[in-house]
Amino acid sequence: MSGVITFIAVGILLWLLGLSLSSPEGFMQAAAIMESFIVKFIIWGILTALAYHIAGGIRHVLMDFGILGETLEAGTRSAQISFIITVVLSILAGVLVW
């Protein structure tokens, strides 16, 4: 699910980037769009989904290399750690956005 959200979010983020780089007026429009609470919340959600996707991806790569182990206990522990990392990154993203 986080991959689908991230894939859709890339379009939104690229549109906002293109608008901000188009001209000084485009930058002002992008800045005005980012002032809305709803837009900030959407951007925060996008960054949270991206953080979850990256944390889960790194977890799976480490499991594929055999670093984390492939037992039920190791899988449960690594999932808990990836959730904790996602929460920390989500809080940092909230600080960045607001």
Q: For the residues of 39-86, what is the DSSP string, one character each? A: HHHHHHHHHHHHHHHHHHHHHHHHHHTTSS-SSHHHHHHHHHHHHHHH
Residues of the chain where predicted confidence (pLDDT) is lower than 70: none
* Residue 62 exposed, middle or buried by CB count within 10 Å (0-12, 13-18, 19+): middle
Pair 59, 79: CB distance under 8 Å: yes
Q: What is the CATH number of domain 2-97?
A: 1.20.1300.10
Task: Return the structure tokens found at 13.
Answer: 């983020």
Instruction: Look at residues 88, 62, 89, 85 and name the one whose alpha carbon lies nearest to residue 74.
Output: 62
**Could you tell me which residues are annotated as the binding site for heme?**
53
pLDDT of residue 3: 83
Residue 22 CA to residue 4 CA, distance in Å, equals 28
pLDDT of residue 13: 94
pLDDT of residue 15: 96
**Could you tell me which residues are annotated as the binding site?**
53
Instruction: Map out the domains of the chain as residue ranges.
Output: 2-97
